[in-house]
Structure 1
Amino acid sequence: MTKLKKIKAGALQFVLFIGAIIAVLLMAFVMVSHSHTLFNKKTDITIAMIQATDRGMGASFDQPLEVGMTWELPERDPLGIETSVQKDYWGLLEKREVISKKGKLKFTKIGLVGLRDENRYALYLEDNNRPMVIAGVARISGDAFLPERGIKMGNIQGFGYTKPQLVYGRRQQSSSRLPELYQEVARQLGQLTGLPKGNNISFKKGEIIKNSFQEETQIIRGAVIELENISLVGNILVWASEEIIVQPTANLRDVVLIAPQINIVDGTMGNFQALASKQITMGRNGNLSYPSVLAVGKKGKFEKNANKQQEPSLIMEPGASLSGMLLYWEENDLEGYGANIQIQENANVNGEVYCQGSLELKGNVYGSVTTQSFITLEKGNVYQNHLFGGKIEANLLPLAYGGLVFKDKPANQVMKWLY
C-alpha cells in the first residue's frame, strides 16, 4: 500500500512562483520580439520616406513650380508613401519643403536651392558701345562675354597691363542687356523692404534665440537695431526702418536682415542674408560663409548729375570675404557717377557678383561677374569701363556651387539643408 506524502505549502508556492517567472519571461520575450519586428518595419518605412523626400526634391527641379503651389510626386510608391513639394522664398534664396507621409508617420526636409552651372562664365559685360580696358595686375580667367568693341590694354597712373593674354578663356559677344534674373528673385528684392509677416519678438544682449524653419518666422522689429552679444539661429528675420548694425560679437546663422542701411562691423563672421534699399557696408576682415547674400535694391526716379560723385551702395572693405552672392539692382538710373558696388583691395567674393550698374573691382572674385560696366576712381580721375587691379577667376569656384537663378536657367541644386 502506497503511503501518501504531504507536500509542504512552501514548496508548492515556490513551484508556482517559478512558473509565474517563466510565464513572465516568455511573455516579455514575445513582446520584445514583436516590438523588434515593429521597430524594424518602422525603421524600413522611415528610411523609405527619407529616400522619397530626396527623390521628390530632385524631381521637383524639372517642374515649373510657383510660390505657394504644392506639387505631388506622381510616381506610385510600393509602400504607399505620398510625397509633396512646396516652393517659397527665404530672403532672396528659393526654399523648397518636401514632405513624405505614410499613415501617421511624416518626414520633412527643407532646403535652399540654386543654380549649378557647369558652364559658368567668368565675366558678362553689357555692350554699352565702348570697349573694355584692362590695366595693372588685373586678370580674367574663364570665358568672357564682351562688348562688340572688345577689350584692350590700358594704363592708369603709370600701371599698364603686362600679361601676354587679355582673357584666359574663350571670348563671346555680349548683348545690350544683362542676363535677366529669375522674375521672382527680382520681385523678392523689390518687395522685401515692406513690413514682414510673422511673430514679433524682443531680444536682449547675451540671449540665444533659435527657431526651426518648420515653425512660424520670428521677427525682431525696430528703428535702429544693434546686434551685439547675441546669437540668432534659423527662421528669424530682423527688420529695421532705419539701420541695422552687426557687431563681431553677434552670432548670426541663416537669418535675414532687412533695412535701408546695414553696417557689418569689422571682423564680423557668420552666415546670413542682408537686404537693403540704400547701402550695405561690410567691414575689414569679416567673413560670411556660404550661402550668404548681400543685396541692395533701389527703386524710384532720380535726376542725373554728371558732376556729382555718388557713394557706393555696396562696399566690401579690405580683407572682407563673402561666400555667396553680391547683388545690386536698380529700377531706374541713379544720379551722378561712381561705383554702385565697390570691392576694395584684398576683399574676396567666392561666388557671384551681379551689378545692374557700375562695379569697381580691386579685389578678387572667385566665380563670375555680371555687370553693366566697370569703373575705376584714382586720385580724382574717373576711368569708365576700366578694370584695374581686380581679378576674376571662374575656374576657382567649386563645381558643386549653387547660386543665382536666371530667367532661362531654373534651380537644379540644393545649396543647403535647413532644420
Structure 2
Amino acid sequence: MIGIKKIKAGALQFVLFIGAIIAILLMAFVMLSHSHTLFNKKTDITIDLIQATDRGMARSFEQPLEVGKVWTLPEENTLGIHTNVQRTYWGMLQKRMVVSQKGKLKFTKTGLVGHKEENRAALYLQDDNRPMVIAGDAKINGNAHLPERGIKMGNIQGYGYTKPQLVYGKKWQSRSRLPELENSTVRQLKQLTATGFRPTGNDLGLKTGAMVKNGFQQETQIIRGNVVDLENVFLTGNIMVWASQQINVHPTANLTDVVLVAPKINVADGVTGNFQALASKQIMVGRNCNLTYPTVLAVQDIRKTEGNNTPQREPSLIMETGSSISGMIVYKNENESKGYGADIKLETNAKVHGEIYCQGSLELKGSVFGSVWAQSFIALENGNVYLNHLYNGNIDAYQLPMEFGGLVLSEKPVNQVMKWLN
C-alpha cells in the first residue's frame, strides 16, 4: 500500500506564485511584441505621410492654385493617403500648407514659397527713351536688360568709369514697363498697407521682456497701437504687429518670421533677425543691421505728389551704411508724377543678398548680390542730380545661390520653398 504524503500549503502557494509570474512575463512579451509591430507600422505610415507632404508641395507648384482654396492631389498609389494643399499669404509672401492623412494619422507641413530663377539676370532697367550711364567704381556682373539707347560711360565729380567692360554679361533690350509682380501679391501688399486695414486675430498685450512663440497652425496673435515700440521682446512665428502711425524696432528686439505693418517703420542701428516690414510711407533701416533670409522690406507708396518734387525729398526706403539684408526689397507706386528724388536709397557698404524691385528711382551706392528691377537710377551728389546714373553701386547676379527663392513675377511660377514654418 502506497502511503499518502502531505504537501505543505506554502509550497503550493509558491508554485502558484511562480506560475503567475511566468504568465505575466509571457503576456508582457506578447504585448511588447505586438506594440513593437504596431510601432513599426506607425513609423512606416508616418514616413509615407512625410513623403506624401513633400510630394504634395512639389506637385502643387504645377497647379494654378487659387488663394484660400484647397487642392486635393489625385490618388496616385494604393497607400490610402489623402493629401490636400492650401494657398494663403503671410504678409506679402505666399504660404502653402500641405496636409497628408491616413486614418487617424495626420502630418502637416507649412512653408513660404517663391520663385527660383535658374538663369538669373543682374539688371532689368525700364526703357524711358534715355541711355543708362555708369560712373565711378560701379559694376554690373551678369546679364542685363537695358534701354534701346544702351549704356555708356559717365563722369561724376571727376570720377569716371574705368573698367574695360560696361556689362560683364549678355545684354538684351528692355521694355517700356517693368515686368509685373504676380497680381495676388500686389493685391496682398495693397490690402495690408491700405488706410482702412485692420488685422484680425487674438489681441496680444505687449510687455517688456515678453517671450511669445505662436505656431502657424494656431490663430494669428496681434500686437496693435498707434506707435508701437518693440524693445526687449522675443517674438517668433504667427504674430503681426500693426500700428496706425509708426513701428520702432530696437536692437534689443528679437523677431523671427513676424510681420510688421504701419505707415512708417523705423529699424534702429544694430537690429538683427528676420521679418516682413510693410509700409505705406517709409521704411528706414539704420546702420549695421543684419536682417536674415527671408526678410522683406516693402513700401506701397500711397503719398500723392504734386508737380515736380525737389530732389531733396526723402526716400521711401533707406538702408544705411553697414547694414545687410538677405531677402527682398520692394517699392510700388502707380503715381506717374514722382519728381527727381530717390525712392529707394542704399548707402555705401549697404548690402542686399537677394532682389530689389523698384517701381521708381533707385540710388545705389552699396551692393546687390542678386537682381535689380528698376524704372530708373539716380545719383545725388553735392546738390547735383544725375538721372539714370549708376554711381559706385555694384550688382552681381553670380553671387546669389541658385536655390534662392524670391519674388514671383506675373510670368514666373512658384517653384521653391523659401522656408519651412513651425
Task: Mark yes or no: TM-score above 0.5.
Answer: yes
**Partner AA of 1:231 in structure 2:** F
Partner Cα separation in structure 2 for residue 121 and residue 198 of structure 1: 40
Q: 2:256 aligns with which of 230, 253, 256?
A: 253
Number of the residue aligned with 1:8: 8
Report the identity percentage. 68
1:386 aligns with 2:389: yes
CA offset at residue 92 of structure 1? 1.0
Partner Cα separation in structure 2 for residue 174 and residue 32 of structure 1: 70
Give the TM-score, by structure 2 length. 0.98
**Partner AA of 1:169 in structure 2:** G
Number of the residue aligned with 1:185: 185
Do the aligned residues in 1 keep the contact of 2:281 with 2:303 (CA within 8 Å)? no
Number of the residue aligned with 1:214: 217
Q: Using a 3 Å threshold, how does the CA distance of structure 1 residues 387 and 308 change in structure 2: closer, same or farther?
A: closer
CA offset at residue 171 of structure 1? 0.3
1:67 aligns with 2:67: yes
CA offset at residue 77 of structure 1? 3.0
Indicate the RMSD between aligned Cα atoms, in angstroms: 0.9
**Partner AA of 1:238 in structure 2:** V
Number of the residue aligned with 1:333: 336
Number of the residue aligned with 1:233: 236
CA offset at residue 375 of structure 1? 0.1
Where do 1:17-416 residues align within 5 Å?
17-193=17-193, 194-299=197-302, 301-307=304-310, 309-416=312-419
Partner Cα separation in structure 1 for residue 379 and residue 143 of structure 2: 22
Partner Cα separation in structure 2 for residue 78 and residue 15 of structure 1: 53
CA offset at residue 78 of structure 1? 1.7
Deviations 1:182-233 (A, max 9, x none): 0011111100021111111111000101100000000001000000000000
Do the aligned residues in 1 keep the contact of 2:309 with 2:341 (CA within 8 Å)? no
Consecutive unaligned residues of structure 2, counting only runs of 5 or more, are none
Consecutive unaligned residues of structure 1, counting only runs of 5 or more, are none
**Partner AA of 1:78 in structure 2:** T
Do the aligned residues in 1 keep the contact of 2:124 with 2:144 (CA within 8 Å)? yes
Q: Using a 3 Å threshold, how does the CA distance of structure 1 residues 363 and 12 change in structure 2: closer, same or farther?
A: same
Deviations 1:310-362 (A, max 9, x none): 21000000001000000100121354321000000000000000000000000
Q: Using a 3 Å threshold, how does the CA distance of structure 1 residues 70 and 415 change in structure 2: closer, same or farther?
A: same
Partner Cα separation in structure 1 for residue 101 and residue 296 of structure 2: 34
CA offset at residue 300 of structure 1? 5.9
Do the aligned residues in 1 keep the contact of 2:75 with 2:82 (CA within 8 Å)? no
CA offset at residue 302 of structure 1? 2.8
Moved over 6 A (4+): none
CA offset at residue 262 of structure 1? 0.3
Give the TM-score, by structure 1 length. 0.99
Deviations 1:154-206 (A, max 9, x none): 00000000000000000000000001100011111100021111111111000
CA offset at residue 309 of structure 1? 2.9
Partner Cα separation in structure 1 for residue 116 and residue 290 of structure 2: 23
Q: Using a 3 Å threshold, how does the CA distance of structure 1 residues 269 and 303 change in structure 2: closer, same or farther?
A: same
Q: Counterpart of 1:192 in 2: which secondary structure?
A: helix
Do the aligned residues in 2 keep the contact of 1:301 with 1:333 (CA within 8 Å)? no
**Partner AA of 1:241 in structure 2:** S
Partner Cα separation in structure 2 for residue 257 and residue 135 of structure 1: 37
Do the aligned residues in 2 keep the contact of 1:308 with 1:335 (CA within 8 Å)? no
How many residues of Structure 1 are paired with residues of Structure 2 in the alignment?
419
Partner Cα separation in structure 2 for residue 6 and residue 115 of structure 1: 90
Q: Counterpart of 1:115 in 2: which secondary structure?
A: strand
Q: Counterpart of 2:405 in 1: which secondary structure?
A: coil
CA offset at residue 306 of structure 1? 4.4
Partner Cα separation in structure 2 for residue 144 and residue 76 of structure 1: 43
CA offset at residue 304 of structure 1? 1.9
Q: Counterpart of 1:374 in 2: which secondary structure?
A: strand
Q: Counterpart of 1:48 in 2: which secondary structure?
A: helix
Do the aligned residues in 2 keep the contact of 1:60 with 1:85 (CA within 8 Å)? yes
Partner Cα separation in structure 2 for residue 201 and residue 228 of structure 1: 15
